[in-house]
Structure 1
């Protein structure tokens, strides 16, 4: 009896930890966004399309809960309960980006921007696949979906950065090379995120 209780409670405990982590991530994200509104000079995003970030980041973090409330909870064939792991993965990119800007890591650590494009696109792609991709996709098809989503998201991000602030900043001189590197790293990160997502789904 003791063994059975331990076996049944372990997954529930793990699920609760993921849920709490997702909720904490959202609280931290909205807290940082609020402080950016109150103290813009200390936000780390002043001069980096702060207004656009204050709009896009909450949407990015809330797209899955809003989809679930409007559609998923009653008609989703993918999930019987809210997909907290996907929600956490879809929230982390926005939170980590804000923290990196708040600590000025993008401007003071040479490799930080490259690492973030690789890592955060992996999180974003894995979260999107866990939330919306059918579970019966093969490894190859899932890899192509990950590449398509990741590359498209990376292009949209780079276009947004250019329109919002790069074209009028000193970064314009090196923007071409930097953009190519960001697109390559983001796409690679998306592919790795997709393959990890496949392995996660394949577990019994």
Structure 2
């Protein structure tokens, strides 16, 4: 994973993904100077998440989409879009939970905890179910963070039972859709062990 992180970007899309990460860093500085420290703190929480795709080795296109969605989620808090646009909160929860669920799946697969979504013994159904579960878990964790923020950081953070349940429900739908995409599309850059083993076996047979 360290080798993935240190690897130089190849191609325009990988460079764009690194630019998105740079924008994330600059966002914290801009928010700290021109907005409130709490806004900078929210955007600072996004930074580690922006670095994860680099360590894991994901498809550069997904890397860009993931980073942009997380930045939109962070800046939406700064610009109060969640309260000024009625449907914005749900839309961001759908998109954000979906990409986060995919990244959690790819991280666990990269660590060898679960099988790669492109492995020969992995079914489409299992990929979709696991991704949905990861999304629901991520939604629950996020709602806990919001509650902690309201209790210990700022009472301006909106936390309400119906809102919490609604956010988790649409987050689950986003993760479900993302699971379908993960099952059908190659969203990781690294090659699965199964694929390497098959190629190695084929070379031995040819030799």
TM-score of the superposed pair, with normalisation by structure 1: 0.70
RMSD: 2.7
Q: Who is 1:73 aligned against?
A: none
User: 2:182 & 2:103 partners in 1: Cα distance?
Assistant: 8
Are residues 1:169 and 2:126 paired? Answer: no
Contact 2:146/2:157 (CA < 8 Å) preserved in 1? Answer: no
The yes-or-no answer on 1:179 pairing with 2:164 is yes
Cα-to-partner distance string for 1:37-73 (whole Å, 9 max, x where unaligned):
22233x8x64xxx53x2442111111233x35xxxxx
Q: Deviations over 1:148-191 (max 9, x none)?
A: 2101111000000001126863666x610000000001111011
Q: Is the 8 A contact 1:87 1:127 kept in 2?
A: no
The reply to whether residue 19 of structure 1 matches residue 36 of structure 2 is no
Which of 68, 71, 75 aligns to 1:95? It is 71
Contact 2:66 2:99 in 1 (8 A): yes
Question: Structure 1 regions of 5+ residues with no counterpart?
Answer: 1-14, 69-78
> Who is 1:60 aligned against?
49
Consecutive unaligned residues in structure 2, runs of 5 or more: 1-9, 110-115, 188-207
Deviation at 1:115, TM superposition (A): 0.6
- Mapped to 2, the partners of 1:125 and 1:141 lie a distance apart of 14
Q: Is the Cα contact below 8 Å between 2:149 and 2:157 reproduced in 1? A: no
Structure that is richer in helix per residue: 1
Given that 1:147 and 1:191 are in contact with CA atoms closer than 8 Å, whether structure 2 keeps it comes out as yes
Q: Tell me, yes or no, if the aligned pair for 2:17 and 2:63 is still in contact at 8 Å.
A: yes
User: Shift of residue 132 of structure 1?
Assistant: 4.7
2:95 corresponds, among 109, 114, 119, to 119
- Counterparts in 2 of 1:119 and 1:31: CA distance versus 1, 3 Å: same
Number of positions where the alignment pairs a residue of Structure 1 with one of Structure 2: 168
More deviation in 140-149 or 85-94?
A: 85-94
Q: 1:155 aligns with which of 140, 164, 167?
A: 140
What is the TM-score when the length of structure 2 is the normalising length?
Answer: 0.69
Counterpart contact for 1:88–1:127, Cα < 8 Å: no
